[in-house]
Amino acid sequence: MNKYEELAKELHQQIRDGQFKVNMKLPSVRQLCDRHKLSMSTVVRALEVLEQDGVIEGRERSGFYISAANIQSSVPIPEASYILEQPTKINNQELILGLMKSIYNPKLLNLGAAIPAQSFLPVKDIDKASRIAMRSTQHQRDKYMPMPGDRVLREQISVYMRNLNCEVDPEHIMVTSGCQEATMLVLLSCFEKGSTIAVETPTYPGFLQTCELLNLEVIEIPTDPRTGVSIGALELAIQQWSIAGLLLSSNYSNPTCARMPTDKKKTLLDLCDRHSIRIVEDDVYGDISHDPYYRPRPIKSFDKNDTVIYCSSFSKTVSPGLRVGWVVNPTLQKNIEYSKYVAGLSCVTTSQYIMAEYLKLGKHERYLQSARRRYGMQSNLMLERMYELLPEGTRITQPRGGFTLWLSLPSHIDTLELLEKTMAKGVCFNPGVLFSALNKHRNCLRLSCAMEWNENLESALGVLAKESHKLM
């Protein structure tokens, strides 16, 4: 271990031990140099590591402070999955789609959809941007938009990417209809039918459905609910099977909200580089840390060989309805563009103009800071409430970003059965089997924390709790 890593580890331990409390200022760089007899560059590097990992946060002209993300809850978190099973063709998605449709029934209160309530979105600024866009693009907006998309929007996305430590030429940004389409086009264009794609388990159901549609096999890699996919398990899988791609969200993945630490991201990238495995990185939740000033870097920001195909969208932060997403990978862009052209000719022109105007307002970062605070508070509230209400033995993730909670109920509770019972009372959620191609996670479920906290929500949580107690 390098000196800076040793110092980062020691400081992190002191923070965990409570020697430094949340929001307390760390000693200055100079004081740390004196105290630990280390050079300035070593101390600065150690602080960078801690900042990257969200343990501390730098405040302009003031120094480093202990991040709110260090608050520990006494709620037990779900255990990591350890079993590595072989690649599989997905075949339970029909059942799942039926379930999804019923979940969108307006007569049901859906506790599980990972869709922000409108009050979490910058509605006034979107309206303002729409008005400007409608006026200024009168002569262009009723036309097809050629690929790779509106130049002004791509320039704005390029600035956004620079803030994530990714230098991307606007020419290398291809606009898509949301992130779902971005990953779909990437999987379609960059992998042969029958290839094996590694995913986390549990994973976002959209990944499984897309792989099924494209005749790709998936291998589910055991995953830690805090730090993401297990590198050891992935190495083992690579030794046994030919894996073409790894499809994951390294920042606040859905449903566990795991965030991969920086060093793990680098190790993972190195492993995939060595084995020519393409990483398809879905970063839709990357902006939603619960620390107002912290944004974790994507794996793409460490990528020197174009191994990573970066996909994202503004659906979780600005507007799911505008359907504006994008893909970055200069090497494969032509293939992806061709698939997009065949599938839908172009992206919705008006949405691109509106999103470009919204970003030009220059208020996005400020909005994100307040949204992050709110998501953090709401996640904590939901976590504590569910732990209070649900049967003993329930484990719940303690996210530091994103807006979903992953709950594991006592092992004999089947959440599909539970769903049947709650649906009869007008309440639904996302049962654990949706998140695996192998019908795993039967005692688990996902809840969303991006809903208005009101009486209806409270009573729906009560129904969920009551029905789970009945199954004990």
Ligand X SMILES: Cc1ncc(COP(=O)(O)O)c(C=O)c1O
List the one residue from 137, 180, 317, 430 that touches ligand X (CB under 6 A). Answer: 180
Q: Which is nearer to ligand X, 145 or 186 (CB)?
A: 186
User: What are the tokens at 91?
Assistant: 């075949």
Q: Strands of 324-443 (E only): list them.
A: 325-328, 395-396, 404-408, 427-428, 430-431
412's CB contacts (< 8 A; 6+ apart) are 443, 471
Report how far residue 268's alpha carbon sits from residue 366's, in angstroms, rounded to the nearest whole number.
Answer: 32
Sheet holding 430-431, edge to edge: 395-396, 404-408, 444-448, 430-431
Q: Name which of 115 and 361 has its Cβ closer to ligand X.
A: 115
Part in contact with ligand X (CB under 6 A); list of ranges 174-182, 286-294, 405-413, 416-424? 174-182
Q: Rounded CA gap, 384 and 402, in Å?
A: 17
Question: What is the C-alpha separation between 405 and 443, in angstroms, rounded?
Answer: 14
Minimum distance, C-beta of residue 383 to ligand X, in the bound complex (Å): 19
Q: Does 178 bind ligand X (CB under 6 A)?
A: yes
| Token reading at 316 | 């979780």
> Which of the residues 284 through 313 are near ligand X (CB under 6 A)?
284, 313
Indicate which single residue of 250, 315, 430, 448 sits in contact with ligand X (rule: CB under 6 A): 315
Cβ(194)–Cβ(217) under 8 Å?
yes
DSSP state of 409: -
Q: Which of 15, 96, 103, 179 binds ligand X (CB under 6 A)?
A: 179
Which one of the spans 142-150, 176-184, 238-246, 386-394 is the region binding ligand X (CB under 6 A)?
176-184
Identify which of residues 112 and 376 has a Cβ nearer to ligand X in the complex: 112
Q: In 10 A of CB 92, how many CB atoms?
A: 15
Interface region with ligand X, contact rule CB under 6 A, candidates 18-26, 146-154, 163-171, 178-186: 178-186
C-alpha to C-alpha distance for 297 and 72, rounded to whole angstroms: 23
Binding of ligand X at residue 358 (CB under 6 A)?
no
What x/- string results for residues 399 through 438 when contact with ligand X is judged by CB under 6 A? ----------------------------------------
Closest CB 204 distance from ligand X, rounded Å: 4
- Which of 206, 410, 426, 462 binds ligand X (CB under 6 A)? It is 206
Touching ligand X, residues 77-116 (CB under 6 A)? 114
Interacting positions 248-267 with ligand X (CB under 6 A) = 249, 254
Does residue 117 touch ligand X according to CB under 6 A?
no
319 binds ligand X (CB under 6 A): no
> What is the torsion angle, in degrees rounded to the nearest 10, for the CA atoms of residue 177, residue 180, residue 183 and residue 187?
-100
Q: Does 325 bind ligand X (CB under 6 A)?
A: yes
For residue 43, which of 57, 59, 31 has the smallest C-alpha distance?
31
Nearer to ligand X, 313 or 397 (CB): 313
Residue 114 CA to residue 325 CA, distance in Å, equals 17
Query: What are the angstrom distances between the C-alpha of 275 and each of 36, 231, 306, 375?
Result: 40, 13, 14, 38
Show the tokens assigned to 192.
């042969």
Within 8 A by CB and 6+ apart from 295, the residues are: 163, 164, 286, 287, 289, 368
- Distance of closest approach, residue 315 Cβ to ligand X, in angstroms: 3
Query: Binding of ligand X at residue 210 (CB under 6 A)?
Result: no
Minimum distance of ligand X from residue 224's CB (angstroms)? 17
Per-position x/- string for 267-286, each x denoting binding to ligand X as judged by CB under 6 A, each - no binding? ---------------x-x--
Count interface residues toward ligand X (CB under 6 A): 14
Does the footprint of ligand X cover residue 204 (CB under 6 A)? yes
| Minimum CB distance to ligand X, residue 323 (Å) | 7
Task: Give the interface with ligand X as residue ranges (CB under 6 A).
Answer: 114, 178-180, 204, 206, 249, 254, 282, 284, 313, 315, 320, 325
